[in-house]
Amino acid sequence: MTAAGALATDLDAGRYEAAALRLIAGLLIALRDTTPPARGLPAGAIVQCSGRAERAWDEVQTDAPRAVMWRGITNMALNGRVALVAGASRGIGADIARYLAAAGAKVVVAARTEVQQDPRLPGTIHSVVEEIKAKGGEASPVVLNLRDGESIANAVKATVAQYGKIDIVVNNAAIFVPGTLETVQARHIDLSFSVNVMGVILMMREVYPHLRAAGGGHIVNISSGGAIFPGPGPYDSTKVRSGDIFYGPQKSLIEHFSQSEGWRNQADGISVNVLAPRGRIKTPGNLMASNDRENPNLDFDTADDMGKATVWICEQPATVLNGAILYDSEVVKSKGL
C-alpha cells in the first residue's frame, strides 16, 4: 500500500493519531530530500539553488540547547550557528553576544579584558560568558587584541577549535581618542587606526576561509551616526562636533569597505552588513571620559535594539540582505522585533 493509501485508511478508520504521525513522517522525509536551503532562511524553507554552487546543509542538531530567555528572545533562530563577537566584554558587544546566545548561537566572547581594573569599566570576557551560561546559553571566552594581527588569527583559530566552524562575526571593538588634530599624540592616532580600521579589516580577512567552509555566513560591522558626512559648509561654528575627530571618518571607511566586501563575497553566501545605534547608548566606554573613577556612575543603558537587530540580520540570506547600512531602532520597529 502506498503512503497516501495508508494515510487514507487510517483516517477512514478514525485512527487520527496514526494518521498525524504518518503525515509528519512524510513531511520530514520530503524536507530531507529537498534542495539545501540558502543560509539564513527559516528552518524548513525551500529554495532553488540554480546558477550557483549548492550550499551544504547545516549540521542536524541532535542535542538541541536549552531554551534561553534574554529580554523576551527565545526563538532559537540561530540554533547551531557559531558567532565570534569582538569587543564583547561590556556594553554593546556584550549585549549583542547575549542576544545571539539567546537565539541559539554558540558565542565566543572576545576582548582584551580578563580582569576588571577600572571601576568605570565593569565587565570581562569571563563575566559575560558566565551570564550567558547562567541563562542556559553556550559561550566561551577568548582573549583578543585587535592591534595584534597574531592575536586576531589566534582568536579565530580558538573559535574553530572550540566549535568546529564560524558562521557569524560581529566587529564591535573600538576605541575613542579625544583631542583636536593639533593636540592628539601621534601614537594615539596610530592606536586609533590600528583598532578601528585595521583590526576590522584583518578580522574579516581571517574569517573568510571559515565562513566559506561553513557554506556562507554573516559579518556585522558596528558603526555610528558619526559616519554620516557633515556635508558642505559654511558651517554653524557653535555646533562643531565634539569627541573623537577620527571615529566618524573611520566608520565611514568601514561602511564603504563593508559594501565593497559584501559585493565581492556574495557569491560565496557571505553577507557584510553594517549596524549602528540610532542615538547615544550610555555604555561604560561611552561614559568613561566623563565618569568619576572614585565614585563612578554605573547606571548604564542596555543595547537591546542592537542585540535584536543583529539577530535579525543574521537570519537573512546574503542574496536578500547584503551591504546594508542599518540603524538599530529602525530595524526593530520596521520588523516588529
164-200 tens-digit pLDDT:
999 999 999 888 888 899 999 999 999 999 999 999 9
Give CA–CA dist 201/199, Å, rounded.
6
Burial 3-20, CB ≥16 within 10 A → b, else e = eeeebeebeeeeeeeebe
Phi and psi (nearest 5°) for 112?
A: -85, -30
CA distances to 147, 152, 166, 313 from 212, rounded to whole Å, are: 25, 18, 9, 18
For 245-302, the pLDDT digits (tens) are 999 999 999 999 999 999 999 999 999 999 999 977 756 555 445 665 666 666 566 8
Instruction: Mark out the alpha helices in the chain (DSSP H runs).
Output: 3-12, 16-32, 91-102, 125-134, 149-163, 186-193, 199-213, 247-265, 284-287, 304-315, 328-335
Give the per-residue pLDDT at 170.
98
**Residues 337/312, Cβ–Cβ less than 8 Å:** yes
Distances (CA, A) of 179 to 75, 133, 176, 190, 245: 44, 40, 10, 14, 7
Which of 95, 119, 117 is closest to 107 using CA atoms?
95
pLDDT, position 244? 80
pLDDT of residue 47: 30
Q: What angle do CA 156, 302, 124 make, to 5 degrees?
A: 45
Task: Examine the residue annotation and report whether 163 is marked as an active-site residue of this protein.
Answer: no
Confidence of residue 28 (pLDDT cuts 50, 70, 90): very low
- Taking the C-alpha atoms of residue 26 and residue 4, their distance in angstroms, rounded to an integer, is 10
**What is residue 15's predicted lDDT score, i.e. its pLDDT?**
58
User: Per-residue pLDDT for 68 more than 70?
Assistant: no
Quote the CA–CA distance of 133 and 141 in Å, as a whole number: 12
The CA distance from 327 to 337, in Å, is 13
Query: Residue 128: which pLDDT band, with cuts at 50, 70 and 90?
Result: very high
CB-count exposure of residue 128 (10 Å: 0-12, 13-18, 19+): buried
H/E run at residue 139: strand 138-143
User: Among residues 208, 235, 247, 327, which one is catalytic?
Assistant: 235
Instruction: Tell me the CATH number for domain 65-335.
Output: 3.40.50.720
Give the residue-averaged pLDDT of 61-84: 60
Mean pLDDT of 20-40: 44
The Cα–Cα gap between 220 and 79 comes to: 18
Sole residue written with cell 555604555: 283
DSSP for 313-337 reads HHHS-TTTS-S-EEEHHHHHHHHT-
Contact 142, 109 (CB under 8 A): yes
Cell numbers given for 250? 573611520
